[in-house]
Chain A
Amino acid sequence: MKHEPPFIISREDWSLHRKGHQDQQRHQEKVREAIRKNLPDLVSEENIIMSNGRDVVKIPIRSLDEYRIRYNYNKSKHVGQGNGESKVGDVIAREGEPGQGPGKGQGAGDQAGEDYYEAEISVEELEEMLFSEMELPNLQQKQEDDVVITDIRFNDIRKKGLMGNIDKKRTILEALRRNGLAGHKGIKNITNEDLRFKTWEEIVQPHSNAVIIAMMDTSGSMGALEKYVARSFFFWMVRFLRTRYEKVNIAFIAHHTEAKEVTEEAFFSKGESGGTICSSAYRKALEIIDQRYPPSLYNIYPFHISDGDNLTSDNDRCVKLVKELMSISNMFGYTEVNQYNRHSTLMSAYKHIKDPKFKYCIVREKGEVYKALTTFFAKEAATT
């Protein structure tokens, strides 16, 4: 009979055992899928807009818990039960209406919060997902399209080169290595063979420029929501255009009855007061384009955000100026933040503009910023 040893100690090579990592990747994929499905909500997520786009942001995702049958904390007596004819998607039971959501509403709540699964994602990844659904409309060949800029970049090391470009660190390292091999410690004589030089490469890039004319109504009727929508809208738009153009300039114009060019900070934090005459902003935009951004060199994207409450007598002038703006720009976007479906004087005037360059979108709540973005930058195939 074979005698079985009471124990064996072994140590194998486990380096090919990658199951945990593979399944982790699948999980990661699922997270990403969930994020993609939640894009409309995430676009207006506050911590993304406020992060300035530099950091990794944490996004709460609820859908990645494994399903479990669990106790009913609301203590209702029955379980949900179908009648035998139920189909996928049928709701067979609902929790009783909770009086107040956890942690929401007035006063301190007494209910436990929900467990969120937090996914970490860099703003870049989010951009990639979002922008894969977007496209720049009406791109035009600018006459200066063949203007290229050359840039040099040091990205290679060679043994021969100009003394001015010597790479000291690598040279010393080489000397150390050679001496070390010969059994000497420390930095000894440096010979010609040790010398290392940086060399460069010329890169040629086509020159392309875009300018956004961001116009915002800062009249008394613009509230917190309007500001927020404007902020997240411009945040994403700037980032989107930056992925498509080498250089994106932005001019900020704030207006009530008269328009002023302001800094980015002032643009988003400016207090509101006064009435509304939108044509003032358009006139200012034309003036800026005329002075600084010749249409022959720039792709121009004027965007206007307003609550639509324009002085009625100004509307005709607005329509005229918008047409003028469109003639020199790639598109004109008008976003109206209209929470309560008010009758909007400006929109009733714009309704009659029939031009593929003119796009408008009505935003009723935070979550619709995504809708606005996809309206303006929709892929052509999708819109037809």
Chain B
Amino acid sequence: MTGEEMRQLERAVDEITEIAKGFGLDFYPMRYEICPADIIYTFGAYGMPTRFSHWSFGKSFHRMKLQYDLGLSKIYELVINSNPCYAFLLDGNSLIQNKLIVAHVLAHCDFFKNNVRFSRTNRDMVESMAATAERLRQYEMQYGKETVEEFLDAILAIQEHIDPSLIRRHFSWAEDPEQARSALAAHGKHPYGDLWLLDEDERKRRESAEEEAKKRIERFPPDPEKDLLLFIEEFSPRLENWQRDVLTIMREEMLYFWPQIETKIMNEGWASFRKGA
């Protein structure tokens, strides 16, 4: 893209942004980035420019890129749900294509900003994923690539088992984390739970609570838990610290991606409809 084309695009974007505001679209400040195909396909495969490395992303990158190379698919743009909102445009889009794409992107951003499903997503995810990717690299150096990869394999298998509900409490069967923990203690499975019993007052309090709890709670957890990742993270007796950390990371990322999966069609629909307007 030459400097002249760049200036033309800038003028066009300026105009489109004004029109979109006129229609009442409400979006974050935009960061457009023009990048070559293999970069845009990398982002597509990872879901985020800064996400951690894993072979399964490499696999889907390869498959998507192959389809592009064979002319079977083309990603014109990629929008990230963040503030400011990043939009990646494929290098090689013509000016007229880019005009249409920019209108489309603005509607996407409006959707991200205002749809209730996205109301609790982390808008700084780009930076936060970069930080976690860095942390994962640290773990790889510390504990070995194979070990970390094996653990990632395991979590990726269950990563969809989170609870994306907007009115989520900590656990669906407990009011707050403290209650969940005491429920576990009552169940008698906490590795250091017995230490509490050294304290006289605590023991008495616990015993009475246990009596009560035993009546209520026969098994643990009392109700089936939807958020598998959270449950394991909180209660697994054998996770090491770094593993627990990785688990938390993966859960956060999944919670971030979930609304996108959930609203994919509506999101595209909104963007196409607005673009048409």
Contact = CB atoms under 8 A, between A and B. Distances in A.
Interface in B34-86: 34-36, 38-39, 41-42, 45-46, 53-59, 61-62, 65, 84
Interface stretch (B154-162, B169-177, B210-218, B245-253): B154-162
Contact of B29 (A5, A14, A19, A68): A5
A27 B56 contact: yes
Interface string A6-35: 111111101001011111111111100000
A67 interface: yes
Nearest to B153: A67
B9 interface: yes
A265 interface: no
A181 to B, nearest CB: 28
Contacts of A114: none
B141 to A, nearest CB: 16
B176 to A, nearest CB: 27
B55 A10 contact: no
B42 A12 contact: no
Interface in B109-156: 153-154, 156
A9 B95 CA distance: 13
Contacts of B153: 66-67
B256 interface: no
A152 interface: no
Contacts of A9: 6, 9-10, 13, 32-34
Contact of B158 (A17, A25, A69): A69
A64 B56 CA distance: 9
Interface residues of B, number: 40
Nearest to B13: A7
A17 B32 contact: no
Interface residues of A, number: 28
Nearest to B38: A20
Given A11-B34, A14-B39, A4 B58 contact: no
B17 A7 contact: yes
B57 A23 contact: yes
Contact of B58 (A8, A10, A27): A27
Contacts of B59: 23-24, 27, 64
Given A27-B58, A27-B59, A7 B158 contact: no
B56 A66 contact: yes
B184 interface: no
A153 to B, nearest CB: 36
A328 B185 CA distance: 80
Nearest to A68: B157
B31 interface: yes
A8 B53 contact: no
Closest 10 CB pairs of A and B: A23-B58, A20-B42, A67-B157, A24-B58, A7-B30, A20-B61, A27-B55, A26-B55, A27-B58, A11-B34
12 contacts: A5-B29, A8-B31, A9-B9, A10-B32, A11-B34, A12-B35, A20-B38, A20-B46, A21-B61, A23-B58, A66-B56, A66-B156
Interface of A: 4-12, 14, 17, 19-30, 64, 66-69
